[in-house]
Structure 1
Amino acid sequence: MPFKIRHVLIIEDVDSIILGLKTILQDMPYCTAATAKTADEALYSIKKSVETHNPFDLVIADFSFSRNIPGNSPKKEQVFIEKVKELLPNCKIIVYSADRKPYLINNLINKKLINGFIAKDRDSLNLFPRVIKHFEAGNNIYLNQQLHPIMERYNSTDIEEYDVTLLELLASGSTQADISTILKNKGVTSSVSSIEKRINRLKILLAAQNTIHLIAIAKDDGII
């Protein structure tokens, strides 16, 4: 159902980009914008907006917020966005970032945690009035055109949780023998040969030349 986006939260740590977004939003006189530079600031602002019965209609977040979240979990972005969605179940969430992580973006969209992604570039700020009108017209997903080709890999590729676990263990320095032992201790029976076959399958799916290249792709695409 169409609605008006009146209250926007910008989660961004670069002052010039904050200024640019606020300037764009000023051209939509019914919009007000708040800002946060860290995940903690963002969650505080979101909770206050809910408590004062003025919840945010739109959150614009850069993946850089994950730098401010303690720990080394590769899924910090998803955990944070899950918290935002829990607090603001009816809010639209757009990721606006130079970090193009197609697996992560596709996963967040499929889980209905975000409503789209805009890649930062020289002209991308000018897309936001269009994005807001897109949502106000009743549409639910927005992806700028340049992202479509790199998203295609994960629209058709079946990466399972088991694959993600393998990649995380490889990235931590575990050998195939180590991985077999770790999985068995978790109740998952996987021989070294079956693990090798799965890794080779992933190399083919992700067009990786070797294991190091595979881990690099997995990190770049937001799988781990």
Structure 2
Amino acid sequence: MFTKVLIAEDFDSINIALIQTLESMGVKEIEHAKYCDDALLKAKKAIQDKAPFDLLICDLSFETDYRTVTLKSGEELITAIRQIQPSIPVLVYTVEDKSFVVKSLVEDLKVNAFVHKGRNSISQLKTAMETILFGGTFISQNLAHALKENSFNEIEDYDVQVLTHLSNGITIEEMEQLFKNKDIKPNSKSYIEKRISKLKDIFKAKTTIHLVSLSKDLGII
């Protein structure tokens, strides 16, 4: 079992539940942080002390308050810690349930487990940790379908920009000029229209407004 675990979670009630669960599983050292910046500092200190954490459990979203922070999300924290400790296993524990987010975390950030907070999340948390120990990847059953949705593989950074501009009320004509000014290519009106049409097919959206709405629901923009 893991011996030293770092938790990044901003709600006390969840922190308490996680700590109790880890203690029941025999984890000897548990540290937690309510801010991503603090979690990164703890990770750096542990490495400096030659006693690094062997598992990171983190949420994705953190509420803003009076404090100014550098790292504002779980994704940013994972990226920062992986830069100083590339091999640390990561277990994401969150209410987030958008397919695009799950797929991105597993395929791009290479997280080892994604547990959806819910009624059975504690038992899933235990299973996830055991799966990681044996070199596997765990995804909550209600979200496992995300990795099978091949259509998301067709979405490029260019498409995300198009969708973002559409959500901000920018017309295709305005987008064409904007892309030209920023030297983003292809930037012709006809190509942008073709990409929007393809995105409608991928998401099975009936209108551009419907396309934007679905993109937001899936966490793409």
Task: Pick the TM interval, shorter chain.
Answer: 0.7 to 0.9
CA contact (8 A) 2:102 2:143 kept: no
> What is the distance in 2 between the residues matched to 1:66 and 1:164?
25
Q: Which moved more, 1:16-25 or 1:178-187?
A: 178-187
CA-atom RMSD in angstroms:
2.4
Q: How does 1:5-84 map to 2 (within 5 A)?
A: 5-65=2-62, 77-84=74-81
> Does 1:178 pair with 2:174?
yes
Alpha-carbon deviations, 1:144-176, whole Å to 9, x = none? 211122443256641111111111222233211
Q: How does 1:24-173 map to 2 (within 5 A)?
A: 24-65=21-62, 77-139=74-136, 141-154=137-150, 157-173=153-169
Equivalent position amino acid for 1:131 in 2? A
Change (3 A) 1:215 1:162: same
CA contact (8 A) 2:112 2:132 kept: no
CA contact (8 A) 1:103 1:154 kept: no
> What is the distance in 1 between the residues matched to 2:105 and 2:127?
22
Change (3 A) 1:102 1:154: farther
Alpha-carbon deviations, 1:7-55, whole Å to 9, x = none? 1111111211111111111112244221111211211211111111121
TM-score (norm 1): 0.86
CA contact (8 A) 1:106 1:155 kept: no
Structure 2 unmatched ranges of 5 or more? none
TM-score (norm 2): 0.87
> What is the distance in 1 between the residues matched to 2:172 and 2:68?
29
Change (3 A) 1:153 1:180: same
Sequence identity percentage: 33
Greater relative contact order (Cα 8 A, min sep 6): structure 1 or 2?
1
Question: When the two structures are aligned, how many residues end up with a matched partner?
Answer: 217
Structure 1 unmatched ranges of 5 or more? none
* 3-state SS of paired residue (1:33): strand
CA contact (8 A) 1:157 1:205 kept: no
